[in-house]
Every structure is written in C-alpha cells, then in structure tokens.
Amino acid sequence: MKKLRTQPKLKASKIKRILVPFDFSIHFSNALRQAIFMAKCFMAEIDLLHVVEPVYATPHYSGLMLSNDLFYTKLMKQAYKNLKQIAQEAEEREGIKINCKSSLNIAHQEILNYSKKRKTDLIIMGTHGVSGVTEFFAGSNACCVVSSAKCPVITVQKKTTTKGFKKTILPIRSEFNSRQKVNFVATLAKTFMSKIYIVGYTENLGKSEKIKTINYIKQVEGFLKRETISFESKIIKETNFTKAIIEHAGKRKADLIAVMTTHDFSLDQIFEGSYSQQFVNHSKIPVLSVPNTLNFECS
C-alpha cells in the first residue's frame, strides 16, 4: 500500500525574546516602537542594547579597543542611564519587560554576540539605508547582522503607520530554501490577522525551473489555505529581483517584505550585494530576513 503524504502544519514560531539594538536615532526609535507592539502580542521580553564603538576600531582590529578608557566608560554609563529611562517609561505605559545593556565593541559583532548569548528569537533594528559606493563598500551594521544572525531579523527604515503587519509580500523562487520563511511569516499573519501576497519570481528560467516555482507556490497556497490565512498569488517575470519585489510591494501598499538571508549564486549579487542586503538598503518598508535555520517541510 502506498503511504499517504502528510500535509505540512503550522509550527508556530516562538517569539519570547526580542533584541532591539538602539542608537537613539529616529530610525531605531521606529524599530523599538514596532518591537514593543510585537512584545505585547507575543508576551515577549525586549533586550534593549546600545553599542559604543571606538572611533579607531575596525572589524579586523577589535583587539585595539581600550575597554577601561575613562572616556568610553562615561559614554557607556550615560547610554545605559538613557536606555533605562526609555525602558522604564515603556514598561509603565505598555506593561512589558525591557532589559537594558550598554557595551563597548564593534556594533554588529556585539549585536550578534549578545543575540547568541541571550538566545534571541527575533532582532528588530533600525537602518538608515545606503546606496552607491557606500552600499558596495561599507556594509551597514544592519546588513552585517542580517547576513550572520541565527534568528530572523526585521529591519525598519521609516516610521510605520500600522502596528504589526497587515500586508506581507512573500516572494517564492525556484530555490529549495525559498519556502523556509513561510512558517515564520504564517506565524506573524496569524497573530496580526494579515494578508499574504505570494509573488512567484521566474526571471529567465527554463521550463523545468518555472514548473518548480509554480509547484512551490501551490504548496504554499495549500498550506495557507489549511491555516485559514488570507492570501493572493501572482507570478512576475522581471530581470531585477529586488527592484521587482519592492515595486510590487508599493503597488500592494504592503507593510512587510519577507526574504531569505541567503540565495543561490547570481552575478548581480557579486556587484550589488546579496539580495537580503539589497532589500535592507533600498526598501522603505520593513524587511523580514529569515535564515536557513528555520524549516518549512513539504512532504
């Protein structure tokens, strides 16, 4: 007798600890605002982290930092005091728990180390967005965190007009890992009662790859239907993945784009950075970047 294939079921992603890197700018305040709302929805704690970066520190020479320098010690103490004030006001107003930490290190390294130490479930951080030469050479802290974090990362540029996410763009490609973000996206959709817009991206694929993309879309559609999550599907054929998805998000007035941290090799990623980095740099709406450590199994 042929064994029946089991249908994938939603394994609600656990979000009990949210890390919010904070530099007191408006972009990071926007990220904190979103994190507070999500913490209330998931009954999670927030870790608020400020990193003081020595002006002479580089990713390759962090050993040169003088952690006992009086100047940096004063900066860290003042930053911690400011964090505690922000946390106390938010705790009293929103009824959530916020832990504070001020450190001396290279920003993205400290964020990643602290995230691992605290077993963070989600990182929400602000980003200023970069372009041109800065985009290619600098690699913002947000991009460095997104590329190396073991948990999902939501990057926020502008102040969002909604709390939570109501319209999510979910790109599906022919890559095997393209569906691994579905479970986390579905968890958010269930929580915020949001709609998911599945976007099948075919580019200049051969017939077999197009069929694979369509089959992946059908699998995701079946999954969302069983979970009673509202969705629409569309297939687009463009030559620039990030530009096409961002433009589609604008047409749908979406408030979140969900992408994978890593994608299959392509020449444009050599010259313009990884797709996740391009989304972080150019998207004006929040971007959810999901690492390959999360699974979506379709038997």
Considering the domain architecture, whether residues 103 and 196 belong to the same structural domain is answered as no
Same domain, 108 and 231: no
Angstrom distance (rounded) from CA 116 to CA 19: 10
Residue 296 inside a domain? The answer is: no
Q: What is the tally of structural domains in the chain?
A: 2
Residue 299 within a domain: no
Q: State the CATH number of the domain containing residue 187.
A: 3.40.50.620
Tokens 């077993």 — which residue? Answer: 119
CB 154 within 8 A of CB 123: yes
Q: Which residues contact 20 (CB under 8 A, 6 or more apart)?
A: 28, 31, 32, 35, 46, 47, 48, 49, 123, 124, 125
Residues 6+ apart with CB under 8 A from 249: 169, 257, 283, 285
Same domain, 26 and 141: yes
The answer to whether residue 265 is domain-embedded is yes
List per-residue pLDDT tens for the chain, 299 residues long.
444 455 666 777 899 999 999 988 887 888 999 999 999 999 999 999 999 988 765 555 555 555 567 888 899 999 999 999 999 999 999 999 999 999 999 999 999 999 999 999 999 999 864 444 333 333 478 889 999 999 999 999 876 667 789 999 999 998 888 889 999 999 999 999 999 999 999 876 677 888 889 999 999 999 999 999 999 999 998 888 899 999 999 999 999 999 998 865 565 655 566 788 889 988 999 999 999 876 655 43
Could you tell me if residue 84 is inside a domain? yes
Query: Among 156, 188, 210, where does a domain finish?
Result: 156
Asked if residue 261 and residue 205 are part of one domain, the reply reads yes
22 in any annotated domain = yes
Instruction: Among 156, 191, 223, give the residue marking a domain's end.
Output: 156
Residue 132 sits in which domain range? 17-156
Among 126, 156, 186, identify where a domain stops: 156
181, 288 contact by CB (below 8 A):
yes
> Are 204 and 253 found together in one domain?
yes
32 and 152 fall within a common domain: yes
Task: With respect to residue 95, please indicate whether it lies within any of the assigned structural domains.
Answer: yes
pLDDT tens column, 2-47 = 444 556 667 778 999 999 999 888 878 889 999 999 999 999 999 9
Among all chains, which residue has been given the structure tokens 């969302």?
A: 224
Shared domain for 144 and 184, answered yes or no, is no
Residues 49, 148 within the same domain: yes
